[in-house]
Amino acid sequence: MTAPRLMVVDPSVVSAEDEGVARVVGDWPGTTTLLRPALVPGDGPRPRDPVAADGVVVLGSAASVHDPLPWLSDLAAWLEPLVTGAAGVPVLGICFGHQLVAHLAGAEVAYLHPDRRRLVGVVETVLEGGRLLPGRHTLRVVASHREVVVAAPAGFRVTARRPGVPVDGLEHESLPVFGVQFHPEARGEFAARRGFDPAGVDDRVAADGDRLLAAFRRVVLEGR
């Protein structure tokens, strides 16, 4: 059997999320492909590119899923078969990635506040009823977003909630397609760039984020 393959799409538009990518990869035992479609024009993925991976993670971005950007159009066209299950590959969307998964499945993505200000900092979310971490869990996580998924699209269920964010996590009812509005990969570097105290991203935040990311990696490995 070939080595397991993980693909990480970092759609950052300002600076690469090296620290976050490292947390997503974690103890992955196989190969990793990293794509940066906004920062590296032509890096892909393109609409008809094969899904050369056993699992895909799409990270956050300052872009909106509604932006008319060529790289975003290409990414959406490539990702849609994964969201619908046609490609049969597990997907985890984080923040922007979560919104893009929901948007492709038919959900509304809208601004959290009328003035479009960003919510940034360490928050608590309640994760319940999901397959990644079965049971009920209160997680301390990093948030950094202006938009939210208004309601779970058809075929998906809500797996995490926090005040003001009705869909902090979701998953497909039968496919291995998951999304979280918060940032399980975020650490001190992420906090510093977004203007809040890196000390707030403490050991509890790191441990809760790592548990969730490790759970997705297990789903990928078990599905091979």
Listed residue (7, 4, 19) closest to 210, CA to CA: 19
Tens of pLDDT along 111-148?
Answer: 999 999 999 999 999 999 999 999 999 999 999 999 99
Q: How far apart are CA 72 and CA 47, in angstroms?
A: 10
Q: How far apart are CA 221 and CA 224, in angstroms?
A: 6
Tens of pLDDT along 65-114?
Answer: 999 999 999 999 999 999 998 888 999 999 999 999 999 999 999 999 99
What's the predicted TM-score (pTM) here?
A: 0.97
**What is the structure's pLDDT at 52?**
92
Active site (catalytic) residues:
95, 183, 185
Alpha helix stretches (DSSP H) within 13-144: 18-25, 70-84, 96-104
**Domain count of the fold of the chain:** 1
Q: Are 75 and 40 in contact (CB under 8 A)?
A: no
Q: How far apart are CA 220 and CA 207, in angstroms?
A: 20
* CATH code of the domain covering residue 81: 3.40.50.880
Tens of pLDDT along 205-215?
Answer: 999 999 999 99
What is the residue range of 167's domain?
A: 5-222
